[in-house]
């Protein structure tokens, strides 16, 4: 009796929550197939907005720019973030360590408007004194993205490194591996999953960023979020719905693949555990 | 050299033997905390030496200095006559087995075991052969292709041992090698460890906080407390002749009586204790002034308990009342109230079956406790 009540309650909460999350997206997808130019009125099924989208060179340029920035950003952020994470763990206990590791995660909670504004100020000042960057665009956006996404990578790496890795590195040294060898044989392979996760996170953060990019961009460089936002300001448009639908599709496929890989790993782990248990 | 055979199992007694490891007034400070406080130690070839002490007393730090992961703040460490102070871990003739085992999770068992040989540039065919031999020795041949997470705790422990031994180090350092195993497996593995050590003749330095483990395994034990050695000796020496109350209490149980030396003879001392009131006749002479404050340690199993008074003038006897009995099957532990409040613990083998269900000695019975003059030890600190 009690159980039945609770399950009805749980079920309705769950469906309400899910609806809250997904109804807007579903509406967006439906309206991307709307024949009518007026967004809120259904004028029959059509894929013409997709055709419009594919014909527009502006959109393709924005997509290309965003991917270029995201890729370069992800690579640099992973490199720098890994080094920062390594350094934080490796130095062990030193005075001011808490302050230092707090400082590295500050960009995670800093309002983006402030990050954007301060970076813009930095670029303007730099131009004043050393004449670089002479023009804002790809380079400045990429640098800005690296500064905040490397913080995320550093945090991921730090959490992976904490604990066992020091023992493993010492064990390798004990068995005759010089420091560089230890890095290649032990540290990097163990960090690889963290670095991949960090790379993906940095990539998405960059792809998604509107605020910081609009602060530090110039007139020439239009990233995908900036393009979408500027068009929306002129009124809702069905071709943007089509673009958003494609983005949702790409993200969904990515999530599904990641989920599948994780599920397989989990299965494998359970299999291994049951194997160990049987032998005992 | 005439005496070489005589000292074979006890090289530390041989005045001509050269210690294999020499630790010379080594200290280690972390900030202003002293983890190891100017210790001296000599370990001989082929020994199975235990560093025994409670958690945080500096055992691991000392072991890590031998391995080269920590540098001494002062003092020096010599292994086989070579000063190790400036030798990095990857060039020392020692290998370490880590408390966490530290198996490389991304390598199979055979890759783990062969790692050290690959780093030394040993030929591939030889690596294969030596890894196989090692795995056969620890009975893991059929697990060669597995990854560490596919092994049980005991198997991981053996992989770690094989990996540390395959390079044929002069010294093997083991940090709590059995700490992560359950009790049964630990006892079984103790003997395996001893067999392997004997078979290979490698010098073992083992860190442990488990006194039974140390007693079973070692040729000699160093009892450590707050960064210093309290006593170094064979298990028997440390158990029978502890040099302080701390050691007596740490290794096994001991009844401790505070008293005063009232007579210091050629071959005996008499200690008068007030709580409980009795005199201890101890048959080892010692250089101590009459009237000094001392403690007498008496092991529970060295006390005889009986309902009749034994008529022997030489032995120490007191009268008491049984307060508690703990029946453990093979032995029983009695706690006997002597005087007003002092409880003396006695362990005694249960040689006779209880008659009609009645134990030979019952609660609240009056009993006599007695012990040989050679059974107790006088401690000055
Ligand atoms: N790297 C370090 N930095 C600061 N203190 C340390 C470090 N390593 C060990 N210590 C301290 O030194 C003491 C002894 O540690 P350890 O040798 O690991 O003890 P144990 O006898 O339990 O193995 C402990 O109090 C520990 O906190
Ligand atoms: Mg320890």
Range of the domain at B375: 253-379
Q: Using one digit for the tens of pLDDT, what is the confidence trace for A73-89?
A: 999 999 999 988 888 87
Q: Tell me which of B246, B276, B300 is where a domain ends.
A: B246
Residues B185 and B304 grouped into a single domain: no
Position A175 pLDDT exceeds 90? yes
Low-confidence ranges of chain B (pLDDT < 50): 1-2
Angstrom distances, CA of residue B211 to CA of B62, B168, B238 = 18, 28, 11
Structural domain ending residue among the three candidates B220, B246, B272: B246
State the Cα–Cα distance between residues B262 and B279, nearest whole angstrom. Answer: 9
Nearest C-alpha in A relative to B114? A175
Chain A residue numbers touching B98 (CB-CB < 8 A): 167, 170-171
Tell me the three state secondary structure of residue A195. helix
SS3 of chain B: CCCCCCCCCCHHHCCCCCCCEEEEEEEEEECCEEEEEEEEEEECCCCEEEEEECCCCCHHHHHHHHHCCCCCCEEEEEECCEECCCCCHHHCCEEEECCCCCCCCCCCHHHHHHHHHHHCCCCHHHHHHHHHHHHHHCCCHHHCCCCHHHCCHHHHHHHHHHHHHCCCCCEEEEECCCCCCCHHHHHHHHHHHHHHHHHHCCEEEEEECCHHHHHHHCCEEEEEECCEEEEEECHHHHHHCCCCHHHHHHCCCCEEEEEEEEEECCCCEEEEECCCCEEEEECCCCCCCCCCEEEEEECHHHCEEECCCCCCCCCEEEEEEEEEEEECCCEEEEEEEECCCEEEEEEEECCCCCECCECCCCCCCEEEEEECCCCEEEECC
**pLDDT value, residue B13:** 80
pLDDT of residue B366: 83
Domain A58-237, architecture per CATH: Orthogonal Bundle (1.10)
A58-62, A243-247, B303-307: lowest mean pLDDT where?
B303-307
- pLDDT number for residue B232: 92
**CA A70–ligand 1 middle distance (angstroms):** 45
pLDDT at B312: 64
Same domain, residue pair B286 and B240: no
| Domain containing residue B350: CATH number | 2.40.50.140
Q: Which residues of B touch A (CB under 8 A)?
A: 67, 69, 88-91, 94-96, 98, 100, 102-106, 115-116, 119-120, 147, 149-152, 163-164, 167
The predicted pLDDT at position A189 comes to: 87
pLDDT surpasses 60 at A1: no
- Give the whole-angstrom CA distance, residue B66 versus residue A176: 15
Instruction: Answer yes or no: are the C-beta atoms of B7 and B13 closer than 8 Å.
Output: yes
Segment A145-170 shows an average pLDDT of 84
The reply to whether B334 and B281 lie within a common domain is yes
> Is the CB of A176 less than 8 angstroms away from the CB of B69?
no
Average model confidence (pLDDT) across chain A = 86
Q: Give me the residues near ligand 2 (ion), CB cutoff below 5 Å.
A: B 60
- Ligand 1 atom with the smallest distance to the CA of B64 is 17
Task: Give the mutation candidate from B60, B64, B104 for the A interface (greatest A CB count, under 10 A).
Answer: B104
Q: What residue of B is the nearest CA neighbor of A94?
A: B31
CA of B101 to the centre of ligand 2 (A): 13
Nearest to B343 by CA among B362, B327, B325: B325
State the Cα–Cα distance between residues B101 and B158, nearest whole angstrom.
9
Would you list which residues of chain A are within 8 Å, Cβ to Cβ, of chain B? Answer: 164, 167-168, 170-178, 181, 185-186, 189-190, 269, 272, 275-276, 279-280
- In this predicted model, which residue has the larger pLDDT, A237 or B311? A237
Query: Predicted ipTM?
Result: 0.81
Same domain as B179, residue B44: yes
Is residue A272 very low, low, confident or very high in pLDDT (cuts 50, 70, 90)?
Answer: confident
B-chain residues near A177 (CB < 8 A): 90, 115, 119
DSSP labels, A233-258: HT---HHHHHHHHHHHHHHHHHHHHH
User: In the prediction, which pLDDT does A93 show?
Assistant: 66
pLDDT for A30 beyond 80 = yes
**CATH code of B56's domain:** 3.40.50.300
Q: Is the CB of B30 under 6 A from ligand 1?
A: yes
Instruction: Identify the residue among A175, A183, A270 best suited for mutation to test binding to B, counting B beta carbons within 10 A and taking the highest.
Output: A175
């Amino acid at each position: 009796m009690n159980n039945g009540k609770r399950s009805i309650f749980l079920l309705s909460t769950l469906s309400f929550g899910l609806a809250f999350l997904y109804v807007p997206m579903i509406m967006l997808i439906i309206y991307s197939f709307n024949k009518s130019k007026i967004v809120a009125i259904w004028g029959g099924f059509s894929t013409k907005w997709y055709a419009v989208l594919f014909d527009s060179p502006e959109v393709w340029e924005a997509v290309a720019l965003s991917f270029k920035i995201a890729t370069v950003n992800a690579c640099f952020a992973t490199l720098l973030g890994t080094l920062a994470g390594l350094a934080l763990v490796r130095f062990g206990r030193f005075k001011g360590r808490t302050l230092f590791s707090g400082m590295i995660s500050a960009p995670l909670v800093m309002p983006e408007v402030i990050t954007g504004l301060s970076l813009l100020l930095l670029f303007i000042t730099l131009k004043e004194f050393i004449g670089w960057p002479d023009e804002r665009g790809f380079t400045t956006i990429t640098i800005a993205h690296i500064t905040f996404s490397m913080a995320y990578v550093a945090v991921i790496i730090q959490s992976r490194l904490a604990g066992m890795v020091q023992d493993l590195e010492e064990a390798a040294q004990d068995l005759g591996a010089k420091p560089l060898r230890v890095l290649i044989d032990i540290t990097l392979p163990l960090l690889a999953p963290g670095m991949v996760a960090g790379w993906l996170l940095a990539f998405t953060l960059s792809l998604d960023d509107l605020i910081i990019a609009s602060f530090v961009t110039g007139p020439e460089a239009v990233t995908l979020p900036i393009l979408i936002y500027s068009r929306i300001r002129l009124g809702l448009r069905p071709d943007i719905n089509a673009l958003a639908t494609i983005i949702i599709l790409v993200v969904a496929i990515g999530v599904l693949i990641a989920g599948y890989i994780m599920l397989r790993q989990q299965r494998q782990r359970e299999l291994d555990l049951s194997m160990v248990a049987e032998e005992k | 050299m005439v005496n070489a055979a005589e000292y074979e199992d006890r090289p530390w007694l041989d005045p001509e033997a050269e210690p294999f490891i020499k630790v010379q007034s080594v200290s280690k400070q972390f900030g202003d905390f002293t983890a190891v406080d100017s210790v001296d130690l000599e370990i001989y070839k082929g020994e199975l030496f235990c560093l025994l002490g409670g958690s945080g007393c500096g055992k691991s730090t000392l072991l890590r200095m031998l391995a080269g992961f920590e540098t001494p703040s002062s003092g020096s460490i010599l292994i086989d006559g070579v000063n190790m102070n400036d030798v990095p871990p990857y060039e020392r003739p020692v290998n370490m087995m880590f408390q966490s085992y530290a198996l490389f999770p991304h390598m199979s068992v055979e890759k783990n075991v062969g790692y050290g040989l690959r780093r030394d540039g040993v030929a591939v065919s030889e690596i294969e052969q030596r890894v196989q031999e090692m795995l056969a020795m620890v009975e893991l041949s059929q697990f060669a292709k597995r990854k560490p997470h596919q092994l049980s705790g005991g198997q991981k422990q053996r992989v770690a041992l094989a990996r540390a031994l395959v390079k044929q180090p002069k010294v093997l350092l083991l940090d709590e090698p059995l700490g992560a195993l359950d009790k049964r497996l630990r006892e079984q593995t103790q003997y395996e460890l001893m067999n392997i050590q004997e078979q290979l003749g490698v010098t073992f330095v083992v860190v442990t906080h488990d006194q039974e483990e140390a007693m079973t395994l070692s040729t000699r034990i160093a009892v450590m407390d707050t960064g210093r050695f309290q006593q170094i000796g064979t298990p028997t020496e440390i158990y029978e002749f502890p040099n302080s109350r701390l050691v007596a209490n740490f290794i096994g149980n001991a009844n401790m009586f505070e008293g005063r030396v009232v007579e210091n003879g050629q071959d005996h001392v008499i200690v008068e204790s007030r709580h409980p009131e009795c005199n201890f006749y101890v048959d080892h002479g010692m250089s101590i002034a009459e009237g000094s404050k001392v403690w007498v340690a008496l092991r529970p199993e060295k006390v005889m308990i009986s309902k009749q008074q034994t008529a022997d003038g030489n032995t120490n006897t007191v009268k008491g009342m049984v307060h508690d009995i703990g029946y453990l099957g093979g032995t029983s532990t009695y706690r006997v109230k002597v005087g007003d409040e002092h409880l003396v613990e006695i362990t005694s083998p249960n040689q006779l079956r209880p008659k009609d269900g009645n134990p030979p000695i019952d609660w609240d019975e009056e009993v006599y406790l007695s012990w040989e003059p050679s059974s107790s030890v006088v401690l000055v600190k």
